Structure 1
C-alpha cells in the first residue's frame, strides 16, 4: 500500500496503528504486554465508534445495529494472526472448557466446508460464526476489527444481503468512516510488525479459530 495515496484522515489512523504496532513489536516475546497493545487499538476504535454513534443520534442518522441482531454474524469474517492470537487468549482465559470445546467443534465443522470454496463463494456463503451463541457474540470484548467497525444504517439492507448474497446489487448500507478508520489502524499496526520481521497472515474466522484454539495461540 502506498502511503502517498492516503487521505489526511487515512494517514492519521494509519499512523496511530503504526505507533501502537511499533510498541507491540518491542514486546513480541512478552505475550501479555504484546496483547495489551492490540487491546489499546481496539479501545481507540471503540471510543471513536461511541462518538460516531452519539453524533448519529443527535443528527437523527439511523444506526440499526443492536444486540440480538445477527445477520452480519452469518457472513465471511477475516482476521489476521495477531487478532486471532488476542481472541484465542481471551477464549482460553474466559471460557469454560465445554464452551470452548463447542466453539472449536463449530469452527472445525464450518472450516471443512468453507475451505473448499472459492474466494467469491466464501464471500457469498451464509453460516453462523462459531462464536455466535443465542443471538450474540460469545467473545464480544475480543472480537476482531472487522466486526467492530461493521455498522449498518439500514436493517433492511442487511436482511436483503443475508437472503440474496449473490445479487450484485444487494449489499449492506454501512457507515463508511469507522470502516476506514479501523482498516487503516490495522494496516498501520500490521506494517509496524512486519517492519520488525514479525510474520502476519490473514485467516477466515473459522479457520483461525480452529487452528488457534486446537493447537494453541501462536502469532
Structure 2
C-alpha cells in the first residue's frame, strides 16, 4: 500500500468509518459479510465468552489491520452471559506502515467529533490532544466524544493517533484509530445488584408471586 493514500483508498476508509459510526452510535445491525470492511479473514472466539473478534482483509488496504469486536450486551444484566445477545463494542483500523493524506481535521469533520472527550471516571475533558502513551514515543494522540445525532442510541468514543513530524518523516502520519461504544463499566457485582433492584421493583408493583404448587 502506498503511504500516501489514493482517492480510492480514501473513499474506502471513509465509507468504512461511516459504517462503523452508524453501527456503534445508531445501532445499525453489524453484518460481517457486507463487504464494507472487506473479506472476513478470521473470527476469534474464547470458550465461555460470548462475542468474537472479526479480522478483515480489504483489497484497497492490503497492509491495514481491520478489526471489529462484539461482546455480551452490557445493558443486559442476566447472570448467564452466554445467553445474552452480543453487540458491537469496538473497532480498530491500524495502518502499517502509517499513511499520509488523511488529516485530523478530515476525520474530525467526517465523524462529526466534539471538542472534548470523556475520561474513564466519566469526567468531561476539554480539548482533544492527549499525552503520548509512553516517554520517548513520537506519537500525537487525540481523543473525542462523537456528537449525538437525531438517531443516536449510544455515546461513542474515538481515538486517533498520529506520528509527529521528524527529520526523516517531515509530515504527520496516521498510525491508527479506534471507535468504541461508551458503555459504563459494569462488574458482575453491579449486574447482581441491578437484577435484585429490578426484582424488588417488580415485587413492589405486583406483589410477591405465589409459590408454585
TM-score between the two structures when normalised by the length of structure 2: 0.24
Q: Taking CA–CA contacts closer than 8 Å with sequence separation of 6 or more, which of the two structures ends up with the larger relative contact order? A: 1
TM-score between the two structures when normalised by the length of structure 1: 0.23
Structure showing the higher strand proportion among its residues: 2
